[in-house]
Amino acid sequence: MTATAAAQPQEPARRAAVIGAGAWGTTFARLLAQAGTPAVVWARRPELAEEINAGTNTRYLPGIRLPETVTATTDIRAAVAGAGLVVAVVPAQTARSVLAPLRGALDDDAIVVSLMKGVEAGTGLRMSQVIAEALDLPASRIAVISGPNLADEIAAGQPTATVVAAADEAVAARVAALCATGTFRPYTNTDVLGVELCGAVKNVIALAVGITAGRGFGDNSKATVITRGLVEITRLGIALGANPETFAGLAGMGDLVATCSSPLSRNQTFGRRLGEGMSVAEAAAASRGVAEGAKSARAVLDLATAHGVDMPITAGVVAVVEGAATVEEVNDALLSRPRKAEGVNAAPLA
């Protein structure tokens, strides 16, 4: 697989900062280093920073060796000092509080890239909007990356593609050039809104698919939820002004299929545990935390409600997560909905 920027001259290597030392953050730092840009990872825990400096992150990337040009620190402002690229990859609901101390600390020409997938509870803001507010940055300096990007597979060197979206095509191309490798192929896009909505809502749909699997239902049921889930994502995106083509691409269908189908998906696994009868608290304990889809589901539904968009699968996930309905009740409610044509904006049949 040839990288997008393989035929383009690379800009001189300049240090990057990655805010977040989990699997995806560490994997992306490794990608940057492989593409020629040294990366400093900000880790909250000193012992994790020390391990990354020694060349591994066994908790999140077991068996993977990190390049010497990937280092770590617990000083978040030191991490971003002098960085030309700042990558944010922390839980969506804590992004604002984590990033706020960096306000005014970034270089004037630094680009901030969001690898986060969610909608902020209480505000309904996408992650690029949260970054803009928290760091007081114009949208022109913010990019987002989203796609079928399961960290374990990328770290193992398996070929994959992604989407780098920015309002300015030149910014998207710059970020793509910095992370392109022989096995990681970034495409560019200017539909930031659509790309971010895909990333946020697919986590909710993956929970629904996991619940379906946990109930013992087969591939027909899972395919139905995936397909109708894509309709919900598309319906919301169009209502907010996104490009419809985005939803058939890597950030839309690509990421949805990967997240809903893979046992590596935290959201799908979390949903499966709910479907098997665990409570949210029990599933969280078994998963070492609540999946992003469960945290963002209410925010996504509130956003849809505010714009008059019908999202029954999302509403069902919210009902289960918040304890307002059982899995069986949600299943019965979805199957008893009025019949309708298949289109995104189809009305119920008379």
- The pLDDT value recorded for residue 162 is 98
201 and 161 in one domain? no
Which of 148, 138, 339 is closest to 260 using CA atoms? 148
Tell me, yes or no, whether 155 lies in a domain: yes
DSSP state of 276: T
Tell me, yes or no, whether 298 lies in a domain: yes
**Catalytic-labelled residue, pool 202, 222, 295, 340:** 202
- The pLDDT value recorded for residue 343 is 77
Which two structure tokens, joined as six digits, stand for 98? 């984590």
CB 340 within 8 A of CB 349: yes
211 and 165 in one domain? no
Range(s) of the domain holding residue 240: 194-336
Taking the CB of residue 307, how many other CB atoms lie within 10 A of it? 12
- The pLDDT value recorded for residue 1 is 38
The DSSP element (H or E) to which 124 belongs, if any, is none
| Residue 25 marked ligand-binding | yes
- The pLDDT value recorded for residue 3 is 37
Of 142, 160, 190, which marks where a domain is finished?
190
| Residue 81 marked ligand-binding | no
Which two structure tokens, joined as six digits, stand for 51? 């391990």
DSSP state of 40: E
162 and 138 in one domain? yes
Has 202 been annotated as catalytic?
yes
- Quote the pTM value: 0.92
Residues facing 114 on adjacent strands: 88, 144
Give the integer Cα–Cα distance in Å for 46 and 299.
Answer: 33
> Residue 140: which CATH number?
3.40.50.720
Taking the CB of residue 46, how many other CB atoms lie within 10 A of it? 11
269 and 226 in one domain? yes
Tell me, yes or no, whether 252 lies in a domain: yes
* Cβ neighbours for 298, distance < 8 A, ≥ 6 positions apart: 121, 318, 321, 322
Give the integer Cα–Cα distance in Å for 213 and 204.
Answer: 15
Total of domains in the chain:
2
CB 40 within 8 A of CB 16: yes
Q: Is 296 exposed, middle or buried (0-12, 13-18, 19+ CB in 10 A)?
A: buried
143 and 32 in one domain? yes
Tell me, yes or no, whether 61 lies in a domain: yes
Of 190, 206, 221, which marks where a domain is finished?
190
36 and 115 in one domain? yes
Give the integer Cα–Cα distance in Å for 6 and 13.
Answer: 15
302 and 207 in one domain? yes
Residues of the chain with pLDDT under 50: 1-12
| Residue 24 marked ligand-binding | yes
**Strands 160-166, 85-88: pairing kind:** unpaired
249 and 272 in one domain? yes
The DSSP element (H or E) to which 315 belongs, if any, is helix 312-321
184 and 35 in one domain? yes
* Cβ neighbours for 10, distance < 8 A, ≥ 6 positions apart: 35, 36, 177, 178
**Strands 142-146, 160-166: pairing kind:** antiparallel
| Residue 22 marked ligand-binding | yes
156 and 233 in one domain? no
145-189 pLDDT, tens digit each: 999 999 999 999 999 999 999 999 999 999 999 999 999 999 999
Distance linking the first and last C-alpha atoms of the chain: 51
Q: Is 279 exposed, middle or buried (0-12, 13-18, 19+ CB in 10 A)?
A: exposed
| Residue 203 marked ligand-binding | no
273-287 pLDDT, tens digit each: 999 999 999 999 998
- The pLDDT value recorded for residue 8 is 42
Residue type for position 312: P
Long-range CB pairs of 275-279 (<8 Å, 24+ gap) are 275/210, 275/211, 275/212, 275/213, 275/214, 275/215, 275/327, 276/214, 276/215, 277/214
> Residue 227: which CATH number?
1.10.1040.10
Give the integer Cα–Cα distance in Å for 275 and 330.
Answer: 11
266 and 253 in one domain? yes
Tell me, yes or no, whether 146 lies in a domain: yes
Of 133, 168, 190, which marks where a domain is finished?
190
146 and 53 in one domain? yes
- The pLDDT value recorded for residue 12 is 45
For the four alpha carbons of 40, 141, 137 and 189, in that order, the dihedral sign comes to: negative
Tell me, yes or no, whether 273 lies in a domain: yes
| Residue 118 marked ligand-binding | no
Give the total residue count for the chain: 350
